[in-house]
Chain A
Amino acid sequence: MTDQELNPAAAAAPRAPRRRRVGRLSGRDKAVVAVLLGLPIVLDLAFIWGPALATVGLSFTKWNGVGGLSTKICQPNVPSILNNGCLYGVQNYHQAATIYPEFWPAVRHNLIWLAVFVFFATPLGMFFAVLIDRGIKGSRMYQSILFLPVMLSLALVGIIWEFMYSQNYGLINTVIGHNHNGNAIDWLGNPKLNLWSVLIEASWRQAGYVMVLYLAGLKAVDPQLREAALMDGTNAWQTFWKVVFPVMRPINIVVMVVTVIESLRAFDLVYITNKGINGLELLSVLVTSNIVGETQRVGFGSALGVILLVISLVPICAFLYLTFRRETQPKGAR
């Protein structure tokens, strides 16, 4: 490349509108774009969005997974073997809501899960972050320890906590003296207790996760804001809620989305504890057990999956709206 070649381009650069220049691509550039876009799009459509849409389609059928699907409408009062693969309309949804005994408990458990994350794990994590962010002695060590559980797989968390909760040899029962066969408390087996026991494990991990997100958020807050607020005579509590917290809006959105999504996704902990039965039913478990188990009810399981999809689309759309709103607007509109 010689200087003569370069100079005209350099001279032209400031005048040419930026957008058009970037938009003009050589043939080679177009090939690069095609390759860089092509493979990820194929993967995403084939293995994420394709299956997601297929779930919606399958949810309107009655299918045991063997044999093909047909476009016939299901006949009432016919042995189900003859009806296999037929169109079932919204019957799967109807059955889920009316006669499937695990459905409403699962919904309730998911809601409890969400509530515990929102009202316990998230505030706790935020509180940790605020204390650590004030730079007290040993803050780095506190941060490392509180974050440790996040590094562990949820399956591992379930196994580790079994040593705490076990009826006869567990730490908790031994310490409180309830480890004899007569008076043992079955933390993970009693359907009235086990959801709460598992939620303590889940919060143990979630709080550390939330803490790190908030630590990142707090670091990004302009210290002058805080100083100004303190000069105005507010106390630490007021400064946090009236000044710092509103400034952290991006982080609050992320934490909110993470909280909702994580409580809908919850699966590993209950599965490792008792395969998600006997008091630990969750929507995610019901979907899995209907399609991967021995009695495959693909259509029905898909309907449960769609219900999960619809619920999760609420936080997903909220997140996308809040995140991408600015980009679709022309610059300077805000």
Chain B
Amino acid sequence: MTAQTIHRTTPRAAAGGGRRKPLRWGQLASQVFLICACVLWLLPIAFALYVALRPYSETQKYGYVSMPHHLTLKNFSDAWSQSDMLHYFWNSVLITVPSVLIVLALAAGLAFVLTRVNIKINVALLILFTAGNLLPQQVIITPLYRLFLQIHIPTFLGNSGLLYNSILGLIVINVSFQLGFCTFVLSNYMKSIPDEMYEAALVDGAGLWTRFRKLTLPLCRPALAALATLLTTWIYNDFFWAITLMSSGDKRPVTSALANLQGQFVSNQNLIAAAAMIVAIPTLVVYVLLQKQFIAGLALGSSKG
């Protein structure tokens, strides 16, 4: 840096003990700040959990912000049984699991071709897919809604007979929308695989498909795991597609069905809190178990610029 700054700091550095003290104060200040932030960050979740754990009669009498007389899990079991929540969870599973698998399969193949086959328009295609993922969902919803009303599907795939209001429809849009991000991340990842490995495979007579299946996919396993974690939470948490592309509440995934439940339980806030906590559980479990993968996925998406 500049000579000026050296002049200013050298005497302090020479003082030795004098330098260490402010550092410790800085550490203390950081700790205090982070603890305060964490309390603020946990407070809304903790308070909702507290409301969920208290009996309705007690909160009616003393208010929500009061000391507990006794805590109960009854709100959780009531919310679960009174709202047919298992059914909505099953909807979420039916949408999320196939979507994640299909996105990863399609994006891996696409990214492989775009990075490893020398076609002229590969950068253009990558731009097309990446940009598609960045569009706000509302930009495409009007025609998409119309399109979903036009596309007929066999009734065993959805009893409405249309892509609109069917689980398949939500899978289709989630897959199409998330393809861009996954392709972008995977192609960045695949670019880091050394050319020499492909040359060796080619020498061994491996065709394009073998180079994809036997070489690229195993090497991409960490990236695929990270993306699977991210996609699972994103698709599970989706709200917009489910409320615009599904007319009836009973086919919606659990996150958007919660809005209906909120109306149903309107007089009993304790039940709403319990239902909200139940809906949050799957993503929290994913987070606790797969925190590393989750964060790796976000980091992969941002590691290139």
Residues of A within 8 A of B (CB): 1, 5-6, 9-10, 13, 18-19, 21-23, 25-26, 28-29, 32-33, 35-37, 39-41, 43-44, 46-52, 54-55, 58, 65, 128, 131-132, 134, 136-138, 141-142, 144-149, 151-156, 159-161, 163-164, 166, 169-171, 174-175, 179, 204, 208-209, 212-213, 215-217, 219-220, 229, 232-236, 238, 242, 249-251, 253-255, 257, 261, 264-265, 267-268, 271-272, 283-284, 287-288, 291-292, 298, 301-302, 305-306, 308-309, 312, 315-316, 319-320, 322-324, 327-328
Q: Is the CB of A55 within 8 A of B134?
A: no
Cβ-based interface call for B15 (8 A):
no
CA distance A105 to B41 in the complex (A): 30
Q: Is the CB of B142 within 8 A of A174?
A: no
Name A43's contact: one of B112, B140, B172, B280 (CB within 8 Å): B172
Q: Which residues of A contact B195 (CB under 8 A)?
A: 18
CA distance A289 to B96 in the complex (A): 27
> Which of B22-72 touch A at CB < 8 Å?
26-27, 30-31, 33-34, 37-38, 41-45, 47-48, 51, 59, 63-65
Q: Which residues of A contact B255 (CB under 8 A)?
A: 153, 155-156
Q: Is the CB of A217 within 8 A of B302?
A: yes
Known contacts: A159-B258, A161-B44. The answer to whether A1 contacts B303 by CB under 8 A is: no
> Which of B166-216 touch A at CB < 8 Å?
172-173, 175-177, 179-180, 183, 195, 198-199, 202-205, 207-209, 212
Q: Which residue of B lies closest to A42 (CB)?
A: B176
Q: Which of B74-82, B83-91, B115-123, B154-162 lies at the interface with chain A?
A: B115-123
- A173 CB to closest chain B CB, in angstroms? 9
Q: Which residue of B lies closest to A208 (CB)?
A: B41
Cβ-based interface call for B248 (8 A):
no
Q: DSSP class of A's interface residues: helix, strand, loop or mixed?
A: helix
Q: Is the CB of B48 within 8 A of A160?
A: yes
Q: Is the CB of B138 within 8 A of A305?
A: yes
- B254 CB to closest chain A CB, in angstroms? 10
Q: Which residues of B contact A54 (CB under 8 A)?
A: 142-143, 146
- B53 CB to closest chain A CB, in angstroms? 12
Residues of B within 8 A of A (CB): 1, 5-6, 8-10, 13, 26-27, 30-31, 33-34, 37-38, 41-45, 47-48, 51, 59, 63-65, 106-107, 109-110, 112-113, 116-119, 123, 125-132, 134-147, 172-173, 175-177, 179-180, 183, 195, 198-199, 202-205, 207-209, 212, 233, 236-240, 243-244, 255-256, 258-259, 262, 269, 272-273, 276, 279-280, 283-284, 286-287, 291, 294-295, 298-299, 301-305
Q: Is the CB of B205 within 8 A of A5?
A: yes
Q: Is the CB of A146 within 8 A of B183?
A: no
Q: Is the CB of A233 within 8 A of B1?
A: yes
- B143 CB to closest chain A CB, in angstroms? 4
Q: Is the CB of A29 within 8 A of B208?
A: yes
Q: Is the CB of A152 within 8 A of B283?
A: yes
Q: Is the CB of B140 within 8 A of A55?
A: yes
CA distance A104 to B141 in the complex (A): 22
Q: Is the CB of B129 within 8 A of A216?
A: no
Q: Which residues of A contact B244 (CB under 8 A)?
A: 288, 292
Q: Is the CB of A163 within 8 A of B48?
A: yes
Q: Which residues of B contact A161 (CB under 8 A)?
A: 44
Name A292's contact: one of B145, B238, B262 (CB within 8 Å): B145
- A178 CB to closest chain B CB, in angstroms? 12
Q: Which residue of A lies closest to B238 (CB)?
A: A153
Q: Is the CB of B208 within 8 A of A33?
A: yes
Q: Which residues of A contact B299 (CB under 8 A)?
A: 212-213, 215-216, 219
Q: Which residue of B lies closest to A1 (CB)?
A: B205
CA distance A151 to B276 in the complex (A): 13
Q: Which residues of B contact A35 (CB under 8 A)?
A: 109
Q: Which residues of A contact B145 (CB under 8 A)?
A: 291-292
Q: Which residue of A lies closest to B291 (CB)?
A: A144
Q: Is the CB of A47 within 8 A of B147?
A: yes
Q: Is the CB of B280 within 8 A of A152?
A: yes
Q: Is the CB of A13 within 8 A of B199?
A: yes
Q: Is the CB of B110 within 8 A of A40?
A: yes
Q: Is the CB of A216 within 8 A of B139?
A: no
- Return the 7 tightest CB-CB contacts between A and B, nearest first: A250-B305, A216-B299, A153-B237, A54-B143, A36-B109, A51-B140, A51-B143
Name A39's contact: one of B59, B106, B144, B203 (CB within 8 Å): B106
CA distance A306 to B208 in the complex (A): 41
Q: Which residues of A contact B123 (CB under 8 A)?
A: 324, 327-328
Residue among B42, B137, B140 with most chain A CB within 10 A: B140
- A151 CB to closest chain B CB, in angstroms? 4
Q: Which residue of B lies closest to A275 (CB)?
A: B259
- A261 CB to closest chain B CB, in angstroms? 6
Known contacts: A52-B135, A272-B259. The answer to whether A234 contacts B1 by CB under 8 A is: yes
